[in-house]
Structure 1
Amino acid sequence: MTSVADNSLSNDAREHELKQMYEAIHAKNMFPFWAKRSDVEHDEIKQLMASGPKALPFLWSFKNDLEPILQQSAKLVTTEDSDRRSLILTNPGLKPRRATVTNLYTAYRLNDPNELMPAHRHTASAIRLGLTGQQNFTGVEGEDIVFRPGDMVLTPRDTWHNHGNVGDQPAINLSVLDYPLVESFNSLSFDHDYVEDGSLKKKQSARFSPDYSARVYGTGGFTPRFVDHFRGVGGSAPMFVYRYDAVRELLERNREWDDNHHEGLKVEYTDPVHGGPVYKTMTFFMQMLRPGETTLPLKQTASQLITPMEGSANVKIDDETFNCHLHDTLAAPGGHWVQFSNPSSTEPAILFIASDENALQAFGLLQRFGKTAGGDVFRLV
C-alpha cells in the first residue's frame, strides 16, 4: 500500500497526530530518524547526536583518594573474601557501565606481602603497570614475572595468569583492560578453574624462565627463529614484559629531539615480532614532557588514560585544566582539545598513556587535528 502525506489536516490536528505518533514510537522502543527543521522538539538528528552516555574528562587522585581506599580495602577484604581486590575507575558520564573511557577501563590493585591471587583468564586483554613496591608479581602462561614501578606486563586475552606480590612490602599496580570494548561485542567471558595435570590449581607451574621475554625479545630489531612465538591464543605481542628502564633510557637519549610539537617525546610499545601495537584493541605509550615544555593542542577521536610516573603535568582539556600528580589517572575522552604542560622548570615529567586509537584506526574511525601556535586548525595525517 502506498502512503502519501495528508495535506488536508489542520495544523492543530496534524500536531496532535504527530504527538501521538511519537509517543507510540518511543513506547514501542523505536527511534524515528528524521528531522523537521521547523520543529526543534522533534529534531531527531540533534537528539541522536546528544543522546546516550558520553565519557567526561575526569581526574582520580592517587594520594587523596585511591591510595587510602586501597590500604583500607587490604584490611577489610581478604583473599578468602575475594579472588581479586581492585578499584575500577568508572567515568561519571558512563555510569553504570564499568568504563573509564568509552572502550577502556583502568583499575588499581594493592597486594599485601606474599599474597597470591588464584589463576584465571578472560577474553578481555590487559596490561599491569607497576606503581609502588619492588616485587609485584604476575605469572602469564607459565612465565613468572616480577615487576617494579614503570614496568608494563601483558596478560593477553584467554591467557591464564596469576597476580600477587612476592615481596615483604605492600605493592600497588595499575591495570588497563579493553573490557568495555569486548563487552560491547557481547564477547566477554571469565574462567577461574585452572586445571593442570588433571587437578585444579591456584598457581600455574613455570614453563619458561623468569627472564624469557627479555632474553628472547629484549634486544629489539632481531626476530629469533629458534622459538615458537605463538604464546596463548595469538593476536598480541609474545613479549610479556616491557621494562621501564629501557623506555626511560630511550626517552632520555632523545630528549633534545624537537620535531613533534603536538606530542613532544612519545614512545609506543610495540610487538617485537610483527610490529604494531601490542594488542589489536588498545595501545600504550610513555611520554616525556621536558622541563617547562608545553605541547600544542591536539584533538582526536581516540580516548586517552594518562598516569604520571615521574613529576606532574598540567593537562588542559578544552577550557579546563587538570593538575595530574604522581600515579593519578586522568580520563581524556576523544573529541576534546588536549594540551600538556610540565610545570617544573628543572625536571622532566614522564606520563604513561593508554589509548584505543589503534582500534579506531582499524575501523577507519581515527581522526586527528592539531592547532598551530597561532590557533589555526589543521588535520594531522
Structure 2
Amino acid sequence: MTDHPATIDPRDAVLGRSRVTDTPELEAFYDDLARRNAGAFWKRANAIEPWEPETRYRPTLWRYADMRAMCLRAIDLVKPEEAGRRVVTLLNDSDAGRANVAVCGWLFSGMQAMRPGEITPAHKHTASAHRFIMEGKGAYTVVDGHPITLGANDYVLTPNGCWHDHGVTADGEVSIWQDGLDIPLMNCLETNFYAVYEQPAQTAAFPSNDLPLSYGGAGLRPEGVGAWDKPYSPVMVYRWDAVRDALWNLAKVSGGTPFDGHMMRYANPLTGGWALQTMGAHMQMLPGGFRGQAHRHTGNVVYNVAGGRGYSIIGGKRFDWQTHDIFCVPAWTWHEHVNLDLNEEAFLFSFNDFPVMEALGVRIEEPYSDHGGHQPA
C-alpha cells in the first residue's frame, strides 16, 4: 500500500511492485527507522520508480514580441557591468522550473540584449553554454582568445571552462540572442565553479573567426594546423546561410522524417558527435504545409522559431508560434509540429540534453500510434 491510497496505480497490483499492507507493528518499525535516518524502501518504491518517465515540467511558450520588450527595458534599467550578465531568464511554468531556475528539465535559458559598445565582462564556469542570435548587427564573442563575429540565426558555442566575453561593436546595432546553459544540471551534480577574468575583456590572441574559417568547411579538415584536442567542436560558430543551404540540399534528395521534416545536427566535424558534451542542438526545416506526426522521447527540448509560422501540439495542447517565439517540450511528452504556410518553409532551431541521455544509455523514443499519428488537441 502507498502513502496515498487514492493515487494507487492499478498496474502496481502485480508481483514485483510494492503491495505491503501496513500494520501497527510496521508503523512502529518505520518510526524506529526514521530515528536512525533510514526508511523502508517499499514505502516509496512505486513512487520513485514509475512505470515510465514523469516530467515535473510543463510545455511553455514565450512570445518574442513580449520578451523582446522586456529585454529592451532591461537595457534601460541595468548596466551590463553591474549585472554580470544582463539576461532575462525564461522560467518554465511549473514549480520545478521556478525552483531550479530552469527552462525545461535540467536546462537553463534566457535572452540577452546589448547596445553598441557594451560588453559582458569576461568569465568562465563549469556549465556549458551556447547562444542563438536572434537580431542585430556587430555582435561578437571571444572564447579563450578566439574572436568570433555573430549574425542573425548563427549558433555559437561557449564550452565549459572557457574564458568568454561578448558584446556589440560601437558601430553595430542593438543585438538580442538566446542563451542556453546546463546550469541546473551542474548544480544538481554539485559541480558548478565560476571565475571572473583579470580584465573586463580578453585581448584577442588569434585572427578574427580563425576557428570557423579553419574547421567550418563541410567534409574538409585543415592540414598544417595544430591537432585539436578539446572535447567540443572546433567550428565554434555555425553560420545561418550554410545551415539553411544544407537543409535545402538535403530536401533535394530526402523526404525527411515524419516527425521533424528535414533536420540537421550541429555536429563536431572531427567526431560526427554533438558539438558540446552535455547539450545538443538542431536546425530543422518544415516544408510548406507540413503536418508532422507525434512522437515522444526522453530528454528535454527548447525551440526557437528561426523563421515561419505554425503551431505545435504538445501534450495535447496547441501552441501557435511565429518567428523567434520560444517554446519547450518536456521529457516524454507527445509533440508534433505543423507549418501553417502552404508555400514557404518554417525553420525551428532547438537545443536539448540528448548528449547526457546518450552518455547514460537512456535516450529512448517512440511514435504516437493512434489517430494516424496525431494527438487530439
Residue of structure 2 equivalent to 1:11? none
State the distance in 2 between where 1:61 and 1:25 align: 50
SS of 1:222's partner is coil
Residue of structure 2 equivalent to 1:85? 86
The letter for the 1-side match of 2:47 is Q
Q: Contact 1:229–1:238 at 8 Å: present in 2 too?
A: no
Residue of structure 2 equivalent to 1:360? 357
Matched, 1:322 2:319: yes
Residue of structure 1 equivalent to 2:220? 222
Using the size of structure 1 for normalisation, the TM-score is 0.85
Residue of structure 2 equivalent to 1:343? 340
State the distance in 1 between where 2:183 and 2:72 align: 25
Deviation at 1:28, TM superposition (A): 6.5
Q: Which structure has the bigger radius of gyration? A: 1
- For residues 115-130 of structure 1, what are the structure 2 equivalents within 5 Å? 115-130=118-133
Residue of structure 1 equivalent to 2:62? 60
Residue deviations 1:245-282, cap 9 Å, x none? 10011112233431421221000011112221101211
Deviation at 1:212, TM superposition (A): 1.1
Residue of structure 2 equivalent to 1:155? 158
The letter for the 2-side match of 1:218 is G
- For residues 7-46 of structure 1, what are the structure 2 equivalents within 5 Å? 15-22=23-30, 30-34=38-42, 44-46=44-46
Using the size of structure 2 for normalisation, the TM-score is 0.85
**Gaps (5+ residues) in structure 2?**
1-21
Residue deviations 1:155-205, cap 9 Å, x none? 11111111111144211011111222222221111110x2xxxxx321111
Matched, 1:185 2:181: no
- For residues 125-204 of structure 1, what are the structure 2 equivalents within 5 Å? 125-166=128-169, 167-192=171-196, 194=197, 200-204=198-202
Matched, 1:297 2:294: yes
Aligned length: 348
Residue of structure 1 equivalent to 2:11? none
State the distance in 1 between where 2:118 and 2:213 align: 27
State, as a whole percentage, how many aligned pairs show the same letter: 27
State the distance in 2 between where 1:132 and 1:111 align: 11
Residue of structure 2 equivalent to 1:48? 48
Residue of structure 2 equivalent to 1:282? 279
State the distance in 2 between where 1:23 and 1:325 align: 56
The letter for the 2-side match of 1:175 is D
Matched, 1:98 2:135: no
Residue deviations 1:275-330, cap 9 Å, x none? 21101211100000111101111110121101101012311112111112221221
State the distance in 2 between where 1:332 and 1:16 align: 45
